[in-house]
Structure 1
Amino acid sequence: MSNPIVDAAQKHPPPERHVYTYGTAGFRTKADVLDSVLTRVGLVAALRSRKLDGKWVGVMITASHNPPEDNGVKLVEPMGDMLEESWEVIGTEMANQPTPEAVLDYYHRIAKEQNIDLRKPANVVVARDTRASGARLLGCLIDGLKASGAEYKDYGFLTTPQLHYMVRCRNTEGTRDAYGVPTEVGYYEKFSTAFKRAMNGRKPNGHLTVDCANGVGGPKLNELYKYLPSKETGLEIFVTNDNVIKPEALNVDCGADYVKTNQRAPPSSKTGPGDRCCSLDGDADRVVYYFKDEQNVFRLLDGDRIATLVASFFGDLVRTSGLADQIKIGVVQTAYANGAATDYVEKTLTLPVTCTPTGVKYLHHAAQKLDIGVYFEANGHGTAIFSHKTLEVIKNYEPKSPSEAENLETLRACIDLINQSVGDALSDFLLVETVLAHKRWGPQEWLNTYTDLPNRLLKVIVNDRNIFKTTDAERKLTSPEGIQPQIDREVQKFRQGRSFARASGTEDAVRVYAEAATKAEAEDLARKVSEIVKTAGGK
């Protein structure tokens, strides 16, 4: 007698000799080798939901800033955060089972090992970005969900953060921690209302051009903008690169990754000096700002800049609300954060900095340990997280003056404006606009807060990246032996020198980051450290 799980796995066989890995962003590769993975992710999602007593979990079909021919899939936990690490291993093993029968055996093995009652309900929220392969992969996923007897809600096209939002809303509905209404309209109403409250009558200075990477963020921003009429808010937005009719245009010569990597505006940009611009990535979970200065020079305001801007604003609000002795703010960075940004946070803002390994899940976990944790990767992916204790303090505090009351109301509005489940480009740029309006700053004033140290990032192709092991949040190599002292010796030769090497998470390469007092010195240091790495394990 046939079994529905065996049948589903048989319908979507894996390509021969292809090995899949659940990386920091889930499974991500060429779309044409993902059918089997999506079916099996459906099985894993059902198991995860049952393990959590039928709570809603999420599945997002996206490859973010990758080229149009790629796609991917990731799983989302009930509160909207990323899949628990031990389940990444389960996902990887399930994806690599060799036969339909092996898939069924592994499904039951996990149920047994995890004490999962397979008679319990399983509930899964599903969405996808605008890639051409998305519809086919959704069909593969649904085959897996149906085979495992899971109930599912398909939201169609969403940004990745909107999917995270839906999951969190569905799991908190009807509780005192209700996060919002789990619909698109609920999302737009929550964040637009919070923006108006946070602005409190202030108007942004000048318009904002938003490049949507020809991805799902384009139509969703156009929808959100209907809830933020410029007559009412003063927020004038020009949306560019929002062509989702041509999926092959996704992330091509536009988007946050293009701007950050190439240190230039998209070729389509027609803005003048001083005009504020920002770029989202393909699934709208990252945002970077930039502008041309008076001399027409491109200036990037990346994730480091957004983190320092937001942290300084929250510092001001906590202090002026009368809560400084009850709430402590911290900033979480990776080793890729510019040394000048770290210095500014520690010395000017006098806030503590925590450094974690690269990957949003590490930053998110570190931020959760703080009263208010602000984290952004340099690539523009980040958010701020408020602990339960902090939310209670802010909610129950009785202001001692009208000024405290006003600042407290802004702080409360900002809590609602932030998508605390995950980095969200749409809510993040509204937060940035709020801070700039409160400070009465344009992009030049924001840039003037500190001067980035010149830096260089190089990629060294190696035979085996796995021999490169790190410690101290990936800032020091422990293996191969003897490499780190050589790097340290080189760093000491340069003014304000800093450099580290770490294995890439996605390819057989080692990434070398270096910064120093001048551009020439940063490039020289990066080259010398690359030579050391090449000698140790290069081709």
Structure 2
Amino acid sequence: MANSSYRTVYAFAREMYPKRIKLEMQYGTAGFRSKASNLDHVMYRMGLLAVLRARYKKAVIGVMITASHNPEPDNGVKVVDPQGEMLEQSWEAWATKFANVVDEKLEDTINELIKEFDIGNMGDRVEVVIGRDTRPSSPHLTKAVMDGVLALAGKPIDYGIVTTPQLHYFVVCKNTNRRYGQPTEEGYYRKLTNAFKKIRGNNYTCGKYTNKVLYDGANGVGAKKVKYLKEALGESLIIDMYNDEIIGSGKLNYLCGADHVKTHQDFPVGVPRIPNARCCSVDGDADRIVYYYLDDKENIHLLDGDRIATLIADYLREHLTATGISELTIGLVQTAYANGASTEYITNHLNIPVACVSTGIKHLHHQALTYDVGVYFEANGHGTVVFSNYAKDRMKDRVKNESFPIQQREACEKLLSLIDLINETVGDAISDMLLIETILHAREWDITDWEACYKDLPNRLMKVSVKDRNVITTTDAERICQTPDGLQDEIDSLVSRYNKGRSFVRPSGTEDVVRVYAEAKSQEEANKLAAEVAMKVYEMAGGVGTAPEVPA
């Protein structure tokens, strides 16, 4: 790299974005997340890293500024690879190193990475596309990323306020010469809505299905952006919007949004409590979605990522069978958080292979790519469907070949339209909502019909604050705790006392907490098992603050 470029890089690092904090930053499953005030130097350095990654891959790279479901004082950043996937794991370590190195060693670290990957085209003006959510801190942090990109002579393209899935979509569009779609918001909406309307036709209400959904936008970008979708859909789907406050209202994710509904199993503030009305909530950057409803006794019924995955997988399995292309494989990918009843239903009733992987979309996405049709969802509502190029080509060929039965050709055409409705790059709350509404419409179901497919095992999710989350290590897709010594034995002993009991613990990827999950035959037992396991974590893994309260 030329000396003049170095001077630009380090002048900015020292003068504009110095590393003032001693806090050790770690690039996790969701990138970096912290208080926004801690992130100036991190954002600048991720701009540098994105340019180097773009030059190494000879492709457009994305940078998304968001903290998703975290409260508003937080913010974060993650780097998006050329095909819309999460940053390659080997580069996560480099991201961590860039974020933590002292200013005086930043030049050495950049040179070390350049040498490691033999990045010789340092004069290329590569593109880095940047998006942000609605947090008040995001514009300032965007400038820091852009300054980092410019410092290494990259070309920053600022998309402004967009959902995380939209940013992933833009990256893929640019790297496929627009074969995936047009890299604009208009192109994104046009692709989804055209596919939705084509599949649905003019019959908006079918059987028990009604074309209306109550939508909780979490006071974030998902509220802002769905307004455009609503206009484009017209009467084909009526979206009643709630929690769509203006930017800077200070209410992002507060008592609303997908994470609130999933974690607390509580109705979001602001959404009318209408019995049996179909409701959905997205999170702060619109990559998660959960559905729910209130029954006549005002009890909330949650249809989370597990329910979404089973609904989609069953529908795709039927259509895949109807194509007559027998060699195409379908599989469903879950994490340990998946409800045991959903796994049993998928395996024994749907006869679809199920794989369990570690928490984190990158793990699910990678495993899903091993199938021709891979469905993956985390229980929190983050997921999508991916199709192999082989599957797409086989279906396109069959549509064109009139020697095949008309039913097979129509099934292939339906699946190809569904592919246009799906954002294959990453979990996308808006795309997933349209896919769910498409399937419910085709089934002529209301939300209670969907829920009736199987009965969830009662479960409870808790978290325990600890001094250092890294004392917890796991194996077997996070289902077995390796350290501290003896903790897994204690968990096994507790689980053995409960009918249909299951529990596991794992360290958070973003904060010093340990997450505890438990299932049992009754809700009371699930609550007690979770509390007992949480207490063992508190005692054996360096718990801090108030100890978990175990019910009598």
TM bin, normalised by shorter chain, reads: over 0.9
Bigger mean CA deviation after superposition, 256-265 or 277-286:
256-265
CA distance in structure 1 between the partners assigned to 2:37 and 2:532 by the alignment: 40
Give how far 1:510 is off: 2.4
Show CA shifts across 1:210-257 (max 9, x none): 111111112211112222111xx2x11111111123341211121111
Q: Unaligned regions of 5+ residues in structure 1, if any?
A: none
- 2:118 maps to a residue whose letter is N
- Structure 2 SS opposite 1:59: strand
Show CA shifts across 1:254-310 (max 9, x none): 111111112122121114122111111111111111111233321111111100100
- Structure 2 SS opposite 1:433: helix
CA distance in structure 1 between the partners assigned to 2:202 and 2:329 by the alignment: 28
Q: Which residue of 2 aligns with 1:33?
A: 38
- Structure 2 SS opposite 1:37: helix
- Structure 2 SS opposite 1:249: coil
Q: 1:142 to 1:461 in 2, by over 3 A?
A: closer
- 1:112 maps to a residue whose letter is K
Q: Does 1:338 align with 2:332?
A: no
CA distance in structure 2 between the partners assigned to 1:171 and 1:130 by the alignment: 26
Q: Which residue of 1 aligns with 2:114?
A: 111
CA distance in structure 2 between the partners assigned to 1:68 and 1:537 by the alignment: 29
Q: Answer whether contact 2:30 2:509 (CA < 8 A) is retained.
A: no
CA distance in structure 1 between the partners assigned to 2:75 and 2:510 by the alignment: 14
Q: Which residue of 2 aligns with 1:51?
A: 56
CA distance in structure 2 between the partners assigned to 1:190 and 1:358 by the alignment: 30
Alignment map for 1:510-521 (pairs within 5 Å): 510-521=514-525
Q: Answer whether contact 2:123 2:153 (CA < 8 A) is retained.
A: no
Q: 1:246 to 1:461 in 2, by over 3 A?
A: closer
Bigger mean CA deviation after superposition, 486-495 or 23-32:
486-495
- Structure 1 SS opposite 2:10: helix
Q: 1:70 to 1:480 in 2, by over 3 A?
A: closer
Q: Answer whether contact 1:301 1:447 (CA < 8 A) is retained.
A: yes
CA distance in structure 2 between the partners assigned to 1:350 and 1:314 by the alignment: 13
- 2:333 maps to a residue whose letter is V
Q: Which residue of 1 aligns with 2:412?
A: 408
Q: 1:30 to 1:486 in 2, by over 3 A?
A: closer
CA distance in structure 2 between the partners assigned to 1:463 and 1:71 by the alignment: 22
Show CA shifts across 1:452-506 (max 9, x none): 1011222233444323221110111222333323322332222111111222223
Q: 1:315 to 1:222 in 2, by over 3 A?
A: same
TM norm structure 1: 0.95
Q: Answer whether contact 1:278 1:289 (CA < 8 A) is retained.
A: yes
Q: Which residue of 1 aligns with 2:546?
A: none
Q: Does 1:457 align with 2:458?
A: no
Bigger mean CA deviation after superposition, 269-278 or 360-369:
269-278
Q: Which residue of 1 aligns with 2:185?
A: 184
Give how far 1:200 is off: 3.8
- 2:295 maps to a residue whose letter is D
Give how far 1:136 is off: 0.9
CA distance in structure 2 between the partners assigned to 1:512 and 1:383 by the alignment: 25
Q: Answer whether contact 2:80 2:168 (CA < 8 A) is retained.
A: yes
Q: Answer whether contact 2:124 2:154 (CA < 8 A) is retained.
A: no
CA distance in structure 1 between the partners assigned to 2:481 and 2:77 by the alignment: 31
- 2:259 maps to a residue whose letter is D
Q: Answer whether contact 1:202 1:437 (CA < 8 A) is retained.
A: no
Q: Answer whether contact 2:127 2:156 (CA < 8 A) is retained.
A: yes
Alignment map for 1:461-480 (pairs within 5 Å): 461-480=465-484
Q: Which residue of 2 aligns with 1:273?
A: 275
Alignment map for 1:274-313 (pairs within 5 Å): 274-313=276-315
Q: Does 1:219 align with 2:224?
A: yes
CA distance in structure 1 between the partners assigned to 2:510 and 2:131 by the alignment: 24
- Structure 2 SS opposite 1:89: helix
- Structure 1 SS opposite 2:250: helix
Q: Answer whether contact 2:40 2:141 (CA < 8 A) is retained.
A: yes
Q: Answer whether contact 2:334 2:354 (CA < 8 A) is retained.
A: yes
Q: Answer whether contact 1:198 1:411 (CA < 8 A) is retained.
A: no
CA distance in structure 2 between the partners assigned to 1:173 and 1:530 by the alignment: 50
TM norm structure 2: 0.93
RMSD over aligned CA atoms reads 1.6
CA distance in structure 1 between the partners assigned to 2:378 and 2:186 by the alignment: 29
Show CA shifts across 1:18-52 (max 9, x none): 22111111111111111111111110000000001
Bigger mean CA deviation after superposition, 406-415 or 206-215:
406-415
Alignment map for 1:438-457 (pairs within 5 Å): 438-457=442-461
Q: Which residue of 2 aligns with 1:68?
A: 72
- 1:359 maps to a residue whose letter is G
- Structure 2 SS opposite 1:226: helix
CA distance in structure 2 between the partners assigned to 1:483 and 1:351 by the alignment: 34
- 2:150 maps to a residue whose letter is K
- 1:121 maps to a residue whose letter is R
Show CA shifts across 1:322-381 (max 9, x none): 23x221211100000000011110011111110001111111111111111111111111
1:81 corresponds, among 75, 81, 85, to 85
CA distance in structure 2 between the partners assigned to 1:195 and 1:290 by the alignment: 22
CA distance in structure 1 between the partners assigned to 2:215 and 2:333 by the alignment: 26
Q: Does 1:361 align with 2:346?
A: no
CA distance in structure 2 between the partners assigned to 1:216 and 1:25 by the alignment: 17
Bigger mean CA deviation after superposition, 141-150 or 102-111:
102-111
Q: Which residue of 1 aligns with 2:547?
A: none
Q: Answer whether contact 2:243 2:271 (CA < 8 A) is retained.
A: no
Q: 1:190 to 1:263 in 2, by over 3 A?
A: same
Q: Does 1:92 align with 2:58?
A: no
Show CA shifts across 1:89-130 (max 9, x none): 11111111212x421221122111110011233211111111
Q: Answer whether contact 1:308 1:345 (CA < 8 A) is retained.
A: yes
Give how far 1:401 is off: 3.1
CA distance in structure 2 between the partners assigned to 1:73 and 1:530 by the alignment: 30
Q: Answer whether contact 1:128 1:134 (CA < 8 A) is retained.
A: yes
Q: Which residue of 2 aligns with 1:209?
A: 214
- 1:244 maps to a residue whose letter is I
Q: Does 1:256 align with 2:258?
A: yes
Q: Answer whether contact 1:460 1:538 (CA < 8 A) is retained.
A: no
The size of the alignment, in residue pairs, is 530
- Structure 1 SS opposite 2:232: coil
- Structure 1 SS opposite 2:470: helix
Q: Answer whether contact 1:82 1:361 (CA < 8 A) is retained.
A: yes
- Structure 2 SS opposite 1:227: helix
Q: Answer whether contact 1:311 1:374 (CA < 8 A) is retained.
A: yes
CA distance in structure 2 between the partners assigned to 1:487 and 1:102 by the alignment: 44
- Structure 1 SS opposite 2:233: coil
- 2:341 maps to a residue whose letter is A
- Structure 2 SS opposite 1:228: helix
CA distance in structure 2 between the partners assigned to 1:171 and 1:218 by the alignment: 28
Q: Which residue of 2 aligns with 1:240?
A: 242
CA distance in structure 1 between the partners assigned to 2:411 and 2:107 by the alignment: 57
Q: Which residue of 2 aligns with 1:525?
A: 529
CA distance in structure 1 between the partners assigned to 2:283 and 2:467 by the alignment: 31
Q: Which residue of 2 aligns with 1:22?
A: 27
